[in-house]
Amino acid sequence: MLAASHNPRPASLPSRPQISFSLVIANKLHPAILLTSIALLAIFIPFATSLDIAPPDSIDIINNNNNNNNRDGLKMHTSEPRTLETLVESVDCRTDEINLTLDVKPREHASDTATTINCQSWIELSIPEDVNTTVEIPFVTPNQFPDNGPPSLLMTINGQYSGDGGVQMDTGSTGITIGKGTWLEWFNGDWSEAVKYERGWKFLSSSKKLYSGHWVPTTLIFHGRAADGTRIDLLKAVVPVLVFDTYYICPKFTNDQGSVCAAPTSQQTGNITGLYMGVGFGREQDGMVMCTPDKNPLLNVYEVNGQNVAGPNNPNKYHLGYIVRANSLIWGLTSANVNRFRWMSLQKQPNATDYRDWAMATLQVSINDGKFRNGSILADTGIPQMYLSSPDVPKPIPPYYKINLKIPDVQGSLGGYVVTAKRVGKNATADSSMLGTAPTYVGATNTAGIVSGPGGGIYERVFVNTGSRFWNGFEAAFDAVGGHWGVMQLSSATSKLS
Least Cα distance to 93 among 135, 129, 121, 67 occurs for 121
According to DSSP, the residues that pair with 120 across neighbouring strands are: 20
* CA–CA separation, 395 and 133 (whole Å): 51
Backbone angles phi, psi at 307, to 5 degrees: -105, 130
Q: Cα angle vertex 492, ends 488, 498, to 5°?
A: 95
* CA–CA separation, 473 and 489 (whole Å): 6
Q: Counting beta carbons within 10 angstroms of the beta carbon of residue 454, is it exposed (0 to 12), middle (13 to 18) or buried (19 or more)?
A: buried
Contact indicator for 312, 318 with CB cutoff of 8 Å: no
| Beta strands 386-390; 442-446: pairing state | parallel
What CA–CA distances, in Å, run from 253 to 204, 208, 234?
10, 8, 39
Q: How many helices (H) and strands (E) does the chain have?
A: 3, 39
* CA–CA separation, 146 and 359 (whole Å): 24
- Number of Cβ within 10 Å of residue 451's Cβ equals 16
Q: According to the model, what pLDDT value does residue 424 have?
A: 87
* CA–CA separation, 19 and 121 (whole Å): 5
Least Cα distance to 377 among 387, 391, 367 occurs for 387
According to DSSP, the residues that pair with 362 across neighbouring strands are: 376
* CA–CA separation, 125 and 76 (whole Å): 9
Taking the mean position of all CA atoms in its chain, how far away is CA 359? Answer: 10
DSSP annotation of 184 reads: H
Q: How many CA atoms lie within 13 A of 327 on its CB side?
A: 2
* CA–CA separation, 309 and 313 (whole Å): 10
Q: According to the model, what pLDDT value does residue 494 have?
A: 62
* CA–CA separation, 57 and 71 (whole Å): 10
Taking the mean position of all CA atoms in its chain, how far away is CA 345? Answer: 12
* CA–CA separation, 397 and 444 (whole Å): 9
Contact indicator for 198, 215 with CB cutoff of 8 Å: yes
Q: According to the model, what pLDDT value does residue 168 have?
A: 96
Q: According to the model, what pLDDT value does residue 454 have?
A: 62
Q: According to the model, what pLDDT value does residue 425 have?
A: 84
Q: What is the dihedral of CA 286, 156, 230, 323, to 10 degrees?
A: 30
- pTM of the entire structure? 0.79
What CA–CA distances, in Å, run from 304 to 219, 308, 424?
14, 6, 51
Q: According to the model, what pLDDT value does residue 290 have?
A: 93
Q: According to the model, what pLDDT value does residue 253 have?
A: 86
Per-residue pLDDT 10s for the chain (498 aa) are 665 433 333 332 233 333 333 333 333 334 444 444 444 444 333 333 332 222 223 222 333 332 333 334 577 665 434 444 444 444 454 454 444 333 334 445 555 554 455 555 788 888 999 999 999 999 997 778 999 889 999 999 999 999 999 999 999 999 999 999 999 999 999 999 999 999 999 998 778 899 999 999 999 999 999 999 999 999 999 999 999 999 999 998 887 888 999 999 999 999 999 999 999 999 987 768 999 999 999 999 999 999 999 877 788 899 999 999 999 999 999 999 999 999 999 999 988 999 999 999 999 999 999 999 999 999 999 999 999 999 999 999 999 999 999 999 988 889 999 999 999 888 999 999 999 999 999 999 999 886 666 655 556 889 999 999 999 999 999 999 999 999 999 987 665 543
Q: In the chain, what are the domains?
A: 20-120 (no CATH), 135-330 (2.40.70), 361-489 (2.40.70)
Q: According to the model, what pLDDT value does residue 208 have?
A: 87
